[in-house]
């Protein structure tokens, strides 16, 4: 496991041939290799995590991300089902779903629906 300390939010500064550099709110650079590590770091930033550990092995990290994305998708669908069963008006149900998801401070659905 690798320990990270960041100050969210984190933004992408550069990416070339699998290597990336991110920058946190304090201006600290975080460099690494692999899309799965970059996704995990950006997600942790979105979740407002400042200290966390991630697997060093790329395959383990990828498996963890895939499981997490699957869980997020299931949660999103569950909240959607509750929202749509609570309102007859689809527009209002969608607003409730979006509001609930935003309040949970989880990644946008496009991140885990790919």
Residue scoring higher pLDDT (48 or 61): 61
pLDDT of residue 46: 85
What is the pTM assigned to this prediction? 0.80
Q: What residue spans define the domains of the chain? A: 2-54, 61-106
pLDDT of residue 114: 67
Instruction: Please give the structure tokens belonging to residue 111.
Output: 């991140």
Q: Could you tell me what percentage of the chain is helix, strand and coil, using 3-state DSSP and rounding each to the nearest 5?
A: 55, 20, 25
Banded pLDDT at 31 (limits 50, 70, 90): very high
Tens digit of each residue's pLDDT (9 = 90 or more) over 63-79: 999 999 999 999 999 99
Question: Mean per-residue pLDDT for 36-62?
Answer: 94
Banded pLDDT at 41 (limits 50, 70, 90): very high
Q: What residues does 51 pair with on adjacent strands? A: 5
Q: Smallest Cα–Cα separation from 68: which of 40, 108, 97?
A: 40
Residue scoring higher pLDDT (47 or 42): 42
Q: What is 4-20 written as a DSSP string?
A: EE--S--EEEEEETTEE
Quote the radius of gyration of the chain (alpha carbons, Å).
16
pLDDT of residue 99: 95
pLDDT at 11 over 80: yes
């Amino acid at each position: 496991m690798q320990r990270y300390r960041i100050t969210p939010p984190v933004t992408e500064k550069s990416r070339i041939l699998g290597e990336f550099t991110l920058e946190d709110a304090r201006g600290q650079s975080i460099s690494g290799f692999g899309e799965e590590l970059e996704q995990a770091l950006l997600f942790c930033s979105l979740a407002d995590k400042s200290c966390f550990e991630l697997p060093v092995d790329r395959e383990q990290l990828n498996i963890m991300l895939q499981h997490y994305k699957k869980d997020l998708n299931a949660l999103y669908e569950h909240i959607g089902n509750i929202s749509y069963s609570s309102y007859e008006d689809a527009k209002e149900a969608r607003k409730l779903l979006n509001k609930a998801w935003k309040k949970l401070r989880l990644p946008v659905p496009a991140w885990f629906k790919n």
